[in-house]
A and B are shown apart, each in its own frame.
Chain A
Amino acid sequence: MAICVLYFAWVREAVGTGEETVDPPEAVRTVADLVEWLRGRSAGHDAGLKDVARLRAAIDQNFVPLDAALGNAKEVAIFPPVTGG
């Protein structure tokens, strides 16, 4: 099933795009699985996504831990810890 993946801050810069639509295989069940699978798409993806400890995520605009199940996610965002305010 197609998922819209969004990247922000330095993750976006490393990956080289802020948004892409992907169709991962069925074995990809959690956000962490998705991140690992996305690393294979390009050298930029690999650089931006290899350090999982520095990544945070949201599914359909709600913060989730990286081990969260994707379920029927339409939009998954991957980004560094937030630094607003």
Chain B
Amino acid sequence: MIRVSVQPAPIELGIEVAALEERGAGGVATFTGVVRGDDGVTELMLEHYPGMTEAALVNLAEAAFERWELKGVTIVHRIGAMVPGDRIVFVGTAASHRKEALEACAYLIDRLKTDAPFWKREKLGGESRWVEARGSDADAAGKWDGED
């Protein structure tokens, strides 16, 4: 089961996790990304490429299913305006064993950072700026290459 959602609505952790648990797996691993406010950021705007984004996330989920024995993958990404403390992204995996669930979850969030067309714009007081891509994200995504 693959569930992908790109949505302006808040991410409901309880509902997402319960849906993964219903897959009858022995383990569910999840990652939640939360908007940080430690740099003085007061608002975060998420722009995306409608159509391509959803397809890119489905492709990622399918790639995870090919690499690991999984029973479920859920990827939910917020778009639009958020404030510090808001959940921005949720990745959940269900598998019979913890290793598959944990590895697939780490893989998905690493790849999502570089393989899905989202752009962040942050507001600090009266100023706003586009967030620059980080080399460490590309490194984290790249480490999964050629590891089959």
Contact = CB atoms under 8 A, between A and B. Distances in A.
Given A80-B133, A84-B48, A85-B33, A8 B113 contact: no
Given A58-B49, A79-B49, A84-B117, 6 more contacts: A9-B130, A80-B119, A80-B130, A81-B133, A82-B119, A83-B131
Given A9-B47, A9-B130, A61-B52, A85 B119 contact: no
15 contacts: A9-B119, A9-B130, A58-B52, A61-B55, A77-B49, A77-B52, A79-B117, A81-B133, A82-B114, A82-B117, A83-B120, A83-B132, A83-B133, A84-B116, A84-B118
A83 B119 contact: yes
B71 interface: no
Main secondary structure of the interface of B (DSSP, over half): mixed
Which one of A77, A82, A84 has the greatest number of beta carbons of chain B within 10 Å? A84
Contacts, number: 68
Interface string B95-134: 0000000000000010011111111110000000011111
What 9 pairs between A and B have smallest CB-CB spacing? A84-B118, A81-B133, A9-B119, A61-B52, A85-B113, A83-B131, A83-B120, A10-B130, A85-B112
B118 A85 contact: yes
Given A10-B130, A61-B55, A84 B119 contact: yes
A84 B52 contact: no
B73 to A, nearest CB: 15
B49 A84 contact: no
Interface in A24-70: 58, 61-63
Interface string A1-34: 0000010111000000000000000000000000
